[in-house]
C-alpha cells in the first residue's frame, strides 16, 4: 500500500513539473540568451558592492550576484555587461529594459515590489541606515543631530527614513540632496554637510575607500544608531518568472553551498560526496537544473567561478577586504544570522 501511494505521488510530481514547463523561457531570458550576455544594473561605484577598476573590470558583492546569474545561465560568470546607475535612475533603467536586473544596494520594500512592477528575488545583504559625522563635531549619538545639515541621495529609502526619524524624535534638519555618489561624498568631506546618511555598509565603504587626503578614515565616526531595515537584494521586472527564478536561486545556491561546506576550492572534490543533499545541489543527482531550465552543473559553475556566499562576503566586504565588515545579520542562520536558503530539492 505504501509503495503504491509513493509511486502515485511521484507520478503526480512528474505531471506537475511537465505541465509547468520548466524549460519554457520567458521573453527576458530569451533575450539574454540571444544576446549571449546578461545586462546587470549596478551602482556607479561603491567599493565592496560594485566598483570598476582602471581597466573597467567590475568587482564587489553585487557584481558577484550578477556573475552567479551569468554562471547559471551561460556556465560563464564573465558574460555580464555592467551598467552603472544612480539610485534615482535605477528603477527607470529596469522598467525600460535598459538592464535585465538590478544588483546595487537596493532595499526591498512593498511599493517597489508591487507598484513599480518589480520582484525582489532575495536578500544579498541585510543592512540598516546609519549616520557618519566628522569626529571634530564631537557628536556621539544621532539624537544630538537637531539642526544638522545632512547629505542624502534622492530616490532612496534613506531620504524617507531620515524624514521619519527626525519627525519621530522632534528634531529639525536641513537636507542637502545630491544624486551623484562622488558629488555627495565630496560635499560631505568638504564640510558642506555635517552628516552623511546612507546604508551603514555604504558608510563603511566610503570611509574605507573614499576619504580624500590629508583626511583619513580615523577622522570620521559612524554613530551607533541604525534607524531602519534595509534588506538589499537583486530585482527583476515582472513578466518573466523563469528569469526571476534563476536570479532567486543563483543567490540561494551561494548561501546553500556555504551551509553545506562547498567552496570554490573543494567543489571538484565535493562532486564525489555521498551526501544526497550535496549530490542534488551539485547536479550529480540530476533534476534541479532541469526544474530551473539551466544546466545541471549550474551550482558547480557558480561556486567554482564566484564562490559560495561566505567566500564572496569575505573577499568583498569582510576580513579579506579593506572594509572589514562583520558578518553580523549576514551570517548563516546556523551561526546566528539571517542568511537562509530554502532547500534545493
Ligand atoms: N538602499 C537604499 C539606498 C541605495 C543607494 O543607492 N544609495 C546611494 C547612496 S550615495 C548609493 O549607494 N549610490 C551609489 C551610486 O549611485 O553609485 C535604497 O535602496 O534606496
* Residue 152 Cα distances to 21, 108, 177, angstroms: 46, 19, 5
Q: What is the pLDDT of residue 16?
A: 47
Instruction: Give residue-wise pLDDT tens across range 86-113.
Output: 999 999 999 999 999 999 999 999 999 9
* C-alpha cell of residue 233: 537584494
Q: Which residues line ligand 1 (CB under 6 A)?
A: 43-46, 86-87, 105-107, 153, 156-158, 181, 184, 198-199, 202, 230, 232
The pLDDT value recorded for residue 97 is 98
Cα→Cα distances 49→62, 156, 170, 200, Å: 5, 17, 34, 13
Summarised one tens digit per residue, pLDDT across range 226-240 is 999 999 999 999 999
pLDDT reported for residue 287 = 98
Distance CA(344)–CA(322), nearest Å, equals 33
Residues 240, 119, single domain; the answer is: yes
Tell how far the Cα of 34 is from the centroid of ligand 1, in angstroms: 31
**Going by C-beta distance under 8 Å and a sequence separation of 6 or more, which residues neighbour residue 236?**
28, 94, 100, 101, 118, 119, 121, 243, 244, 247
Given the CA of residue 43, which atom of ligand 1 is nearest to it? Answer: 17
For residue 262, being part of any structural domain is answered with no
78 lies in the same domain as 134: no
* 24 pLDDT tier (thresholds 50, 70, 90): low
**Least confident residue range of 9-13, 85-89, 144-148, 275-279:** 9-13
Number of structural domains in the chain: 2
* Whether residue 122 is found in the same domain as residue 133: no
pLDDT at 4: 54
Mutate to test the pocket of ligand 1, among 40, 41, 43, 182 (most ligand atoms within 8 A of CB): 43
Q: Which of 228, 261, 286 is the last residue of a domain?
A: 228
Domain membership of residue 260 (yes or no) is: no
Is residue 152 located within the same domain as residue 90?
A: no
SS3 of 268-283: the string is HHHCCCCCHHHHHHCC
Range of the domain at 209: 129-228
Which among 271, 129, 302 is positioned nearest to 292, based on CA atoms? 302
Nearest CA to ligand 1 atom 5: 87
What's the confidence (pLDDT) of residue 1?
44
The total of other beta-carbon atoms located within 10 Å of residue 23's CB is 11
Percent composition of the chain: helix, strand, coil (DSSP 3-state, to 5): 45, 15, 40
| E runs forming strands in 105-181 | 118-120, 125-127, 129-134, 148-152, 173-177
- What's the whole-model pTM score? 0.94
Judge if 117 and 198 occupy the same domain.
Answer: no
Q: Are residues 107 and 243 in the same domain?
A: yes
Amino acid at each position: 500500500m505504501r509503495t503504491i501511494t509513493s509511486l502515485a505521488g511521484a507520478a503526480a510530481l512528474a505531471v506537475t513539473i511537465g505541465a509547468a514547463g520548466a524549460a519554457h523561457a520567458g521573453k527576458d531570458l530569451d533575450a539574454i540568451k540571444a544576446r549571449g550576455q546578461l545586462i546587470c544594473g549596478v551602482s556607479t561605484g561603491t567599493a565592496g558592492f560594485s566598483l570598476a577598476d582602471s581597466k573597467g573590470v567590475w568587482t564587489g558583492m553585487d557584481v558577484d550576484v550578477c556573475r552567479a546569474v551569468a554562471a547559471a545561465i551561460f556556465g560563464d560568470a564573465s558574460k555580464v555587461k555592467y551598467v552603472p546607475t544612480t539610485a534615482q535612475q535605477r528603477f527607470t533603467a529596469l522598467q525600460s529594459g535598459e538592464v535585465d536586473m538590478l544588483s546595487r544596494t537596493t532595499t526591498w520594500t512593498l511599493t517597489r515590489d508591487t507598484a513599480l512592477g518589480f520582484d525582489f528575488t532575495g536578500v544579498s545583504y541585510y543592512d540598516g541606515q546609519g549616520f557618519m559625522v566628522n569626529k571634530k563635531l564631537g557628536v556621539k549619538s544621532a539624537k544630538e543631530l537637531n539642526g544638522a545639515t545632512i547629505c542624502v541621495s534622492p530616490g532612496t529609502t534613506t531620504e524617507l527614513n531620515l524624514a521619519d526619524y527626525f519627525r519621530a524624535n522632534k528634531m529639525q534638519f536641513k537636507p542637502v540632496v545630491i544624486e551623484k555618489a562622488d558629488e555627495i561624498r565630496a560635499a560631505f568631506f568638504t564640510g558642506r554637510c555635517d552628516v552623511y546618511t546612507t546604508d551603514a555598509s555604504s558608510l563603511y565603504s566610503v570611509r574605507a575607500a573614499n576619504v580624500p587626503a590629508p583626511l583619513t578614515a580615523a577622522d570620521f565616526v559612524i554613530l551607533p544608531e541604525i534607524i531602519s531595515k534595509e534588506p538589499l537584494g537583486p530585482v527583476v521586472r515582472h513578466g518573466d518568472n523563469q528569469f526571476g527564478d534563476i536570479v532567486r536561486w543563483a543567490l540561494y545556491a551561494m548561501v546553500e553551498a556555504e551551509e553545506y561546506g562547498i567552496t570554490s576550492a573543494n567543489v571538484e572534490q565535493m562532486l564525489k560526496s555521498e551526501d544526497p543533499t550535496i549530490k542534488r545541489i551539485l547536479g550529480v543527482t540530476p533534476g534541479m537544473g532541469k526544474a530551473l531550465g539551466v544546466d545541471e552543473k549550474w551550482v558547480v559553475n557558480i561556486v567554482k567561478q564566484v564562490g559560495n556566499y561566505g567566500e564572496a562576503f569575505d573577499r568583498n566586504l569582510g576580513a579579506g577586504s579593506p572594509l572589514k565588515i562583520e558578518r553580523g545579520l549576514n551570517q548563516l542562520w546556523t551561526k546566528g544570522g539571517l542568511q537562509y536558503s530554502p532547500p534545493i530539492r
